[in-house]
Amino acid sequence: EDQVTQSPEALRLQEGESSSLNCSYTVSGLRGLFWYRQDPGKGPEFLFTLYSAGEEKEKERLKATLTKKESFLHITAPKPEDSATYLCAGRGNMLTFGGGTRLMVKP
Amino acid sequence: NAGVTQTPKFQVLKTGQSMTLQCAQDMNHNSMYWYRQDPGMGLRLIYYSASEGTTDKGEVPNGYNVSRLNKREFSLRLESAAPSQTSVYFCASSPQTYEQYFGPGTRLTVT
């Protein structure tokens, strides 16, 4: 059975304080590792796809990386507007989602 | 380009009532999905349609039915609603590269 686990469940940062979110996965025949952002009351918004170990993708203050067992979402010098829940998901036969990390960035 | 749209945004049902959640996408995607999102449970797949004319069960299909009306539209039906079906329902669509694009959700309460 495919499994995706995210940690921590919640993370509080001061504005400008860089950190990383972790996504551990066990997905048979991984066909992609996906990161999403979800704001309260809205649907998940697609951020990145990573296909192979060693791959990196960047968008503004976010950088996603992938190893054979984990993916990390690095947030550099976060701003309050980066506050959201970040979801990762692994695609085997279907997409399996982790439980998410709720990020709160205080000014 | 509206992306994925869902109706209604909110709904309150009484136990035993039926309803259909509507979803449409304008991105010409072949695959469409229905998820439910509950606190502490994450997003769970109810049903999916890999292409027009096909539908398959996901992780939690009991109590639901779906119809892929055409390439754009994929509806989810609750025949006899139960309090356990209180949730937020998301529709999504994807191209062949697998990333999924989500709608804004339907917040359903069953009393």
- Chain A residues near residue B90 by CB distance under 8 angstroms: 43-44
Cβ–Cβ gap B43/A46 under 8 Å: no
Q: Which of B89, B72, B83 is nearest to B20 (CA)?
A: B89
Measured CA to CA, the distance from residue A8 to residue B108 in angstroms comes to 29
pLDDT digits (tens, 9 = 90+) for B15-39: 999 999 999 999 999 999 999 999 8
Check residue A93 and give its pLDDT: 84
pLDDT of residue B96: 77
pLDDT of residue A94: 86
The answer to whether the CB atoms of B100 and A49 lie below 8 A apart is no
Contact B25, B75 (CB under 8 A): no
Mean pLDDT over each residue of chain B, to the nearest integer? 95
The reply to whether omega before B8 is within 30° of 0 (cis) is yes
Looking at residue B42, what is its pLDDT?
85
Asked if A87's CB is within 8 angstroms of B58's CB, the reply is no
pLDDT digits (tens, 9 = 90+) for A30-79: 999 999 999 999 999 999 999 999 999 999 999 999 999 999 999 999 99
- Convert B67-87 to b/e letters by CB count within 10 Å (16 or more is b): ebeebbbbbbebeebeeebbb
- Looking at CA atoms only, how far is residue B91 from chain A in angstroms? 9
| Tokens read off for A58 | 């960047």
- How large is the average pLDDT for residues B83-100? 92
Number of Cβ pairs < 8 A linking chain A and chain B: 47
- A49 → closest Cβ in B44, B99, B104: B99
**Cβ within 8 Å of A, B 50-89:** 58
pLDDT band at B1 (very low <50, low <70, confident <90, very high): confident
SS3 letters across A31-97: CCEEEEEECCCCCCEEEEEECCCCCEEEECCEEEEECCCEEEEEECCCCHHHCEEEEEEEECCCEEE
The burial class, CB within 10 Å (0-12 / 13-18 / 19+), for B49 is: buried
CB A98 within 8 A of CB A5: yes
A86-102 pLDDT, tens digit per residue, is 999 999 888 999 999 99
Q: Closest-CA residue in chain A for B39?
A: A99
Q: For residues A46, A49, A54 and A59, what is the CA-based torsion angle, rounded to 10 degrees?
A: -40
Coil/strand/helix, residue B26 = coil
User: Which among A94, A101, A102 is the top mutation candidate for probing chain B, defined by the most B β-carbons within 10 Å of its own β-carbon?
Assistant: A94
